[in-house]
Structure 1
């Protein structure tokens, strides 16, 4: 089997990523579909990846064996490894990821989005000897993110080596600061219409300094968020290293959230930011959690349903002690409008 040559215009080098990347930025007008993903797969491997995705879709949500050491029907290469990210030899894309109960990374937390899908936080691979990041393992998962290619998911249930939740998911985000990937699943024929990437809405209100889009486009696929690390550091200081909604204080899962969508360096103003736990950040960005501008209280949308996130409904936002670092009321109002529109949408 010949080594697949990378499509250079769409290649994003994991080792050089210094700011969060998201599928909405790498594929701004492309719907995420299995059929579309298969077009990215080299022709000689297409049948195997198609059979791989079909197996995960057919077994979605079931708990059982990973069939480790066996070959899935119609798949010419091994579909999983003992743990971590598995990429078949000489292929560009990861085939599956495995989360075990003995994971050292603190990942594996599901967040129910209330629409029949969930997001799962998965930590990048790090070398056992010194904890450094490993491009060899992580690059194929970045390739999945950038090109909109799904990956199989095995999450260990209980202590049995034969007890794994099986699903198919798209990789939708990677944050180099926390080292976390965000997987969104399950991808099935019934849920596939949910997995769409949209360009930013032109109707979203914004402040004068945020109107001009000054983002840098790198290799036509990656929006480079200039100053993101400084932005996060400022928010960490302003909020005392604690999530503004949950009061959670574990550094690796805290992220710098923009109240109004990123439009270049003017967006990285502390008053346009909230320090949020990574799963809450996702719900906030998707318009499933909002902040009422009248009293700065959290509003949990009805689409989330009866979930643990309901405990935050009505709670006051944890505001910085420094008034100059508190969220701008106009930004919160604009964000709440987006939230309200999301709740009204079918």
Structure 2
């Protein structure tokens, strides 16, 4: 029995159909093959273990039955040239360049799309079998395979369980937090591998758990902010035009109005720019509240000056970092920031600055919000507090 005696494309197609019917793990278990480690047969947007398919196809063509794993050489010395001779495409997952790795990841994405069920989910085995995810940690880089592309490895998959940061995931993407474990060296390696995915413009797979099924989204690491330990990851098939690896807020002309806020089904508000706005606010000012002095990133939010609902832009110069409590007070017009003095002023008859926890009433920042945004917000505050048009001495 020799693999070179496999000549029937029909036999290969029968093996492919059985693989689809049983599922990859059951197929391999039935015929005692291990999971593919490098070479995959690509057919109809789906990926298959090349060696296992060849061995089973042999049995469909010859009465002696399928070849066993130990009877068959995989790779270029065995199954690959035989399958190619019949017109089948073989992909090598061990990329040596960023371009080759990008091509491989897009093939993986097409495969996962093709294997989705009616709910848009895939099996955990379908994710693992093509290397989209492969361990228990949040970040999967498979450094053994990807370090040829980048010495730090390149992140492939990001698992988001929703348990620790449920609000950071929406239909547009995710604000993904840097890993924090006792393995600090490994944490740093995973952060660097994720940054490499951004700089090399390689997509990643965001994995969510739904019982024994998995949701998978194709995504791109759009940027990061080290002080707050956040990655901005956006869903879609198109890579970002620019990687946000540092504050770029002064690179474009300022516009106070303009955002992509919309309603879906008449009720649900979609804010596709909110995650990016938060990252860019942190990049511009740092993840600390200048009014309360709180420097715990998990407690800091990005507050709009001209609000999103009022058509305010997602430009970082239209925002300030604030602790969550002050952000609520700010939106409730309990205080505002005078654009001339850059000092916080409390609403007459309301809680004092001290009551609200404002211990640093004057903005003391290396970079300030845009004056136009500060003035719009202050005018809105005067209107809401019934003092629109009041003389300076009355304020």
For the aligned pair, the TM-score class normalised by the smaller chain equals 0.3 to 0.5
Larger radius of gyration: 2
TM-score by length of 2: 0.40
* Structure (1 or 2) with the greater helix fraction: 2
Larger RCO (CA under 8 A, 6+ residues apart): 1
